[in-house]
Amino acid sequence: MNGGLNVFDLIMNSSLPVKGVLLILVIFSFMSWVIIIRKLGQTKAALENAENFEERFWSGGDLAQLFREVSNRGAEGGLETIFESGFREFARQRQRRTHDTRGVIEGTERAMQVASTREVGTLERSLEFLANVGSISPYVGLFGTVWGIMGAFQGLGDMKDVTIAVVAPHISEALIATAMGLFAAIPAQWMYNRFATKVERIASRYDVFQEEFSSVLQRQIQADDAA
């Protein structure tokens, strides 16, 4: 580029450690975007699953029939998996003809909690990587910048006449590492915060459903025992 700075040339002419830093940051950025795209799909599917299943659950239909439908086609995850695990344990406990209502409900709640923990764990998977990229990428870029500036000053020490035209390319190639560090860190940190908030809301929604489902099953036990 005439009269300007060619970023590609600056990168190619930079020292080996700076190139290594840039390569690491490019890999961090690429992996972050892969995770971001995947998590966008996962959280969207989890929210849609919760909306659709709650609508069916509270439609007033037979829960046993709903359980058979979910089991026959396979739970899609989220609330369906939690419901299936809870109702299966509930049915198993009731087949024992036990009159310990509290024991039946506690067993059902444990089964749902295990399923909920697994579902939330799936949503949280790889979020730690985004948090780490957001935290350490600026420092990795800063290391490249410091190294580049040190090399620039060493080279300038042998020159008698130093002008801004001589210094600018060396400083620019060093600052590219900082820019790349921010380029990798900002999207990763921003999306990590968004996903962490979404997962927390989804987990709270799962907890509320478990409490409501437990209440429904307890009323059903009382109604069956009274019949």
Tens-place pLDDT, residues 109-125: 999 999 999 999 999 99
Q: pLDDT value at position 137?
A: 93
Q: 3-state secondary structure string, 38-86?
A: HHHHHHHHHHHHHHHHHHHHCCCCCHHHHHHHHHHHCCCCCHHHHHHHH
Residue 56 lies in a domain: yes
163 found inside a domain: no
Q: Is residue 110 part of a domain?
A: yes
Query: Contact 130/36 with Cβ under 8 angstroms?
Result: yes
Q: What is the pLDDT confidence band of residue 2, given thresholds at 50, 70 and 90?
A: very low
pLDDT in tens, 165-200: 556 666 777 788 888 999 999 999 999 999 999 999
pLDDT value of position 25: 93
**H-only helix segments in 96-226:** 101-124, 127-156, 164-226
pLDDT at 1: 42
Q: What is the mean pLDDT of residues 62-71?
A: 87
pLDDT at 157: 62
pLDDT given at position 199:
94
Q: How many domains does the chain have?
A: 1
Residue 40 has pLDDT above 90, yes or no: yes
Q: Average the pLDDT over each of 39-43, 68-72, 83-87, 179-183 and give the range with the smallest value.
A: 68-72
Within a domain: residue 157?
Answer: no
List the domain range (segments joined by +) for residue 25: 16-141+186-226
Q: By mean pLDDT, which of 29-43, 70-84, 95-109, 116-130 is the weakest?
A: 95-109
